[in-house]
Structures are given as structure tokens and as C-alpha cells.
Structure 1
Amino acid sequence: MPRLDWLAHHMHHSDIFASWIHQQFHYEYADQPLPQWQREFADGQFDGTWQCLIALDEDRLLGGAALATADLAHRPDLGPWLACVFVTPQARGKGLAERLIEGICAQARERGVAKIYLHTRDQSDYYARRGWTVLERFQAWENDQWLMVRNL
């Protein structure tokens, strides 16, 4: 079973995970070059803005999820955020994303956070089955988006 640990303990994986996120959510990063995002993401492991929990098989990176202080520019009033959820295609279908999400929620709870937010364009049903509720729908990046919240 893959183990979970904080990316800050495995920074040699930071650039590759950031590149996966940059590619997966390319519409969000259209105006941010990959090297700039990689620096921001790496710095975020230590300043708390993008604290990432990763899944490892031995030292092979399988995915991750982040606890972000800000993740939606038009809603700076909300946070923290579940962000950057990604599992490699070969590791999908085994509950790994759910383990990562629950790890982020546990970290937020330990910090005394009462609510955590996320936005998604195509996974609202997945999150709803796991206790998230819709706050609003909105348009961004030329697509419908769902803003969701979960009480911790």
C-alpha cells in the first residue's frame, strides 16, 4: 500500500508534481510559465501556501493533494482550500485520491479549521459523495465550475 508523507520531506519530487498539476489544470495556468509555477509550489511547501501531501510507492511518486491558503482569485474571502488533487493514471481506482483528500482534511482539522473549500469543473459528484456540498456554480476558464465546502 502506498504511503503518504509531506512533500516538504521529499523535495526532489516537487518539480515533477508541480508539472503534473500545471498540465492537468492547464487552463488555470495559461498565464503562468511552468518554471514560475514550480518555484511558487516549491516555496509553498515551506511558507504554508501549498502544503502538499504525496503518495509514494517506495520512492516513486503516485500523486498528491495540497492544503492551499488561496486557490480561487475571485473568492479571497474563503480558505483554506483542498487543491492540486492528482493521482497518476496507473495508480487510479484504488482509493488513493480519497486517502490524500482525507489526509488534507485531517491536517486542516489539526490546525483548528472548521471548513475547507475546493473548486472543480468536473468532479462535483465525486466530492458530493464524500461529504462536500455545493456553495455555488460559476464560470471560469471558459467552463462551468463548482465551488464546494466541507465542514470538518
Structure 2
Amino acid sequence: MSLQIDWLAHHMQHSDRYAKWIHQQFHYEYTHQPLADWQREFAQGQSNGEWSCLIAIDGERLVGGAALARDDLAHRPDLGPWLACVFVSPEARGQGLAERLIDGICQEAKDCGFARLYLHTQSKQDYYAKRGWQVMERFRAWDSEHALMARDL
């Protein structure tokens, strides 16, 4: 695997595909946003700072990514920035790629002067807890339980 990790803004040919992965993976969050609208918002987010996404590319193949989002939870507009849109394609899993992407986002947030990063997760609380994230609160959204987590940078 000749893996390259870089900002999606430098590889916009992958933007629609990554947005589609996120739309499918976290479908419950997009029930009122058609795929084409999300793809447009996500692409714009690469230049306006709303969804700065770090991606992993194997040759020309997109294999994963994670985003530094300005706002990722409607009922908590007081918090941010957020680790969001973490996804690794099934064939690239189990190699520590998500961790590398998450570390890259944490470093970027720190470099931007932020002291803390937030995320929300439905099912990966244990994964994040092992990596230094702490549960701040639990909440119900999209018909299921979620954990709001934070990590000091």
C-alpha cells in the first residue's frame, strides 16, 4: 500500500465519493438532506473551513478520511471544533488508518490554536475512550443513544 495522507482540498476529484460514503455510513443524520445537497455542502466545506477533510489515498484510490468540522451537532452550537466524518473503506481497515487520520485532525486543531476537540458517536465510544476521549454527556438523537465526547489537545 503506497498510502498518502493529504487534505481533500488538494484532491477534489474524491470529494463527491467521500461525501457519499459519509451519507451512507451515517444515513440517520441525513434523512432530510438529499445526497446531492450534502455533496455540494461538503465540497464547499473544503474551502470555507466548515468540513476540512483529511483523506487517505492508496495510489489513485480513496481509502478513508476524517474531518475537522466547525459545527457537527445542532443542539450544541456552543461546542467546537469537531472530529467528524471518520470513515475507512472496508478493504483498508485494521491497519491503524483511522487512528492516523484522527491524529492528523487533532494536530491540525491544535495547530489552529484549539485546546479541545469534540465528537459524537453512536457505537464507537469504546474505540475513542481507548484513545484519550472522555464522555461529556449522553443524548438521544436519530432514534438512538449517542455519546458526546471530548479530548484535550
TM-score between both structures, scaled by the size of structure 1: 0.99
Q: Any residues of structure 2 matched to 1:1-152 within 5 Å, and which?
A: 1-152=2-153
> Which amino acid is 1:4 matched to?
I
- What SS is found at the alignment partner of 2:131? coil
Q: Distance between the aligned counterparts of 1:87 and 1:141, measured in 2?
A: 22
> Which amino acid is 2:108 matched to?
Q
- CA-to-partner distance for each residue in 1:25-45, whole Å, 9 max, x for gaps? 000000000000000000000
TM-score between both structures, scaled by the size of structure 2: 0.99
> Which amino acid is 2:135 matched to?
V
1:2, distance to aligned residue in structure 2 (A): 1.4
The size of the alignment, in residue pairs, is: 152
Segments ≥4 residues shifted beyond 4 Å: none
- CA-to-partner distance for each residue in 1:50-105, whole Å, 9 max, x for gaps? 00000011111001000000000000000000000000000000000000000000
Q: Which runs of 5+ in 2 are unaligned?
A: none
- CA-to-partner distance for each residue in 1:94-129, whole Å, 9 max, x for gaps? 000000000000000000000000000000000000
- What SS is found at the alignment partner of 2:29? coil
> Which amino acid is 2:125 matched to?
S
Q: Distance between the aligned counterparts of 1:62 and 1:92, measured in 2?
A: 9
Q: Which runs of 5+ in 1 are unaligned?
A: none
Root-mean-square deviation (Å)? 0.5
> Which amino acid is 1:37 matched to?
W
